[in-house]
């Protein structure tokens, strides 16, 4: 891909030591829960997944939660749900910002947790609600989802002085409690393609990548699959130019991003493209489709 070689996406937040610590924290909490909610970004379900998840959670039941489904292409989300189901994975799509899809999430999580909770009681344990925790990479919407699920219950406990914030449970279903601190996973940042897609969605800090390269590649991807959207949104009369730099210039021109002397302010145009993509103003867009056929 043009200019891709210029892109270097370092991830300053995740050194091996950090990853080990994150993994240890998750493993401690895993002992306490019956089911894990794996939060993914519905626009990039592959890039937003952690490569070691299965290894970390071992045989713990897992519910895949495709978040930010309001920003993703509904047909693609449906295809993803079917693809995950065909691999034997339970999955739901939600919008944690507006609180959509949460009833189905709780229902599925309760169902997945039930056998373990029942086994616990049969083994002589005191009957208790099933327990779950949320896992996901930064920015995927973990806090938003916890806040939505927990609602008022969480605010109440959090306000009590002297109440430690660690290991608090909030009731989110008739028989399901949620750990109110999520497990933070690291992304597969060593994979350049993954780094790129995370940069598109804003999951990687804006200051640590080459913004121009990211925007040009995003325009290339959108030009291929969502050309009409680009034409509409940026009022392009001409065909989408093959070279993304030309497309960026057209967008800048149409949006009045000009510097002295009438030249196009490409930096301003880049910001517009990124902001409009990330906020969904370019419409609902999915950047990764499930593999053809059944299995990944
Ligand atoms: P994290 O805990 O996993 O790091 O993620 P967090 O909940 O902080 O969410 C990261 C950003 O994603 C937030 O936006 C949040 O509002 C947004 N978000 C979370 N879930 C959804 C969703 O389902 N749909 C949409 N459209 N956005 C979602 P932000 O810009 O960082 O903050 P703000 O705009 O909420 O102030």
Q: Determine the residue of 139, 198, 279 to mutate for testing ligand 1's pocket, defined as the one with the most ligand atoms within 8 A of the Cβ atom.
A: 139
Where does the chain show beta strands of DSSP type E? 35-41, 62-67, 90-93, 130-136, 169-173, 176-179, 183-184
For position 126, what pLDDT does the model report? 84
Question: How far, in Å, from the CA of 275 to the mean position of ligand 1?
Answer: 14
Can you tell me which atom of ligand 1 is nearest the CA of 184? Answer: 3
Can you tell me which atom of ligand 1 is nearest the CA of 69? Answer: 23
Q: Which residues line ligand 1 (CB under 6 A)?
A: 67-68, 70-71, 95-97, 136, 138-144
Question: How far, in Å, from the CA of 97 to the mean position of ligand 1?
Answer: 7
For position 7, what pLDDT does the model report? 46
Sign of dihedral through CA atoms 42, 43, 45, 49? negative
For 250, phi then psi, to 5°, come to -65, -40
Pick the CATH number of 17-180 from 3.40.50.2300, 1.10.238.10, 3.40.50.300, 3.30.565.10: 3.40.50.300
Q: Do domains 17-180 and 210-278 have the same CATH topology?
A: no
For position 205, what pLDDT does the model report? 72
For position 51, what pLDDT does the model report? 85
Q: Determine the residue of 13, 48, 96 to mutate for testing ligand 1's pocket, defined as the one with the most ligand atoms within 8 A of the Cβ atom.
A: 96
Cα-Cα end-to-end distance for the chain: 24
Whether 47 contacts 80, CB under 8 Å: no
For position 136, what pLDDT does the model report? 96
Q: Determine the residue of 48, 92, 102, 144 to mutate for testing ligand 1's pocket, defined as the one with the most ligand atoms within 8 A of the Cβ atom.
A: 144
For position 153, what pLDDT does the model report? 60
DSSP class per residue in 197-232: HHHHHT-S-GGGS-HHHHHHHHHHHHHHH-HHHHHH
Question: How far, in Å, from the CA of 10 to the mean position of ligand 1?
Answer: 22
Domain regions of the chain by residue span? 17-180, 210-278
Residue ID of nearest Cα to ligand 1 atom 6: 141
Whether 11 contacts 19, CB under 8 Å: no
Question: According to CATH, what is the number of the domain 210-278?
Answer: 1.10.1580.10
pLDDT in single tens digits along all 296 residues of the chain: 444 444 444 445 567 788 899 999 999 999 999 999 999 999 999 999 998 999 999 999 999 999 999 999 999 999 999 999 999 999 999 999 999 999 999 999 999 998 887 888 888 888 888 999 999 999 999 999 999 999 866 655 555 555 555 579 999 988 899 999 999 998 887 788 888 899 999 888 767 778 898 999 999 999 998 999 999 999 999 889 999 999 999 999 999 999 988 899 999 999 999 999 999 999 999 999 998 754 44
């Amino acid at each position: 891909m043009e200019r891709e070689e210029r892109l270097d996406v370092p991830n300053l937040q995740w050194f091996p030591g950090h990853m080990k610590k994150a993994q240890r924290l998750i493993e401690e909490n895993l002992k306490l829960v019956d089911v894990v909610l794996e939060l993914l970004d519905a626009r990039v379900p592959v890039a937003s997944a952690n490569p070691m998840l299965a290894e970390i959670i071992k045989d713990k039941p897992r519910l895949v939660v495709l978040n930010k489904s309001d920003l993703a292409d509904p047909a693609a989300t449906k295809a993803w749900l079917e693809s995950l189901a065909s691999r034997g994975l339970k999955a739901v799509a939600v919008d944690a910002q507006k609180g959509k899809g949460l009833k189905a999430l709780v229902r599925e999580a309760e169902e997945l947790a039930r056998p373990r909770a029942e086994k616990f009681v049969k083994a002589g344990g005191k009957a208790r609600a099933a327990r779950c925790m949320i896992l996901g990479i930064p920015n995927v919407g973990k806090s938003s989802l916890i806040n939505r699920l927990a609602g008022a219950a969480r605010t109440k406990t959090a306000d009590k002085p002297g109440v430690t914030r660690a290991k608090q449970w909030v009731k989110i279903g008739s028989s399901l409690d949620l750990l109110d601190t999520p497990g933070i996973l690291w992304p597969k940042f060593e994979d350049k393609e993954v780094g790129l897609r995370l940069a598109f969605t804003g999951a990687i800090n804006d200051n640590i990548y080459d913004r121009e390269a990211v925007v040009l590649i995003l325009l290339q991807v959108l030009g291929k699959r969502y050309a009409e959207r680009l034409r509409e949104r940026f009022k392009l009369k001409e065909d989408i130019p093959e070279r993304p730099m030309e497309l960026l210039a057209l967008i800048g021109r149409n949006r009045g991003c000009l510097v002295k002397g009438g030249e196009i302010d490409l930096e301003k145009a880049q910001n517009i493209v990124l902001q409009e993509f990330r906020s969904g103003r370019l419409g609902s867009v999915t950047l990764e489709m499930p593999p053809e056929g059944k299995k990944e």
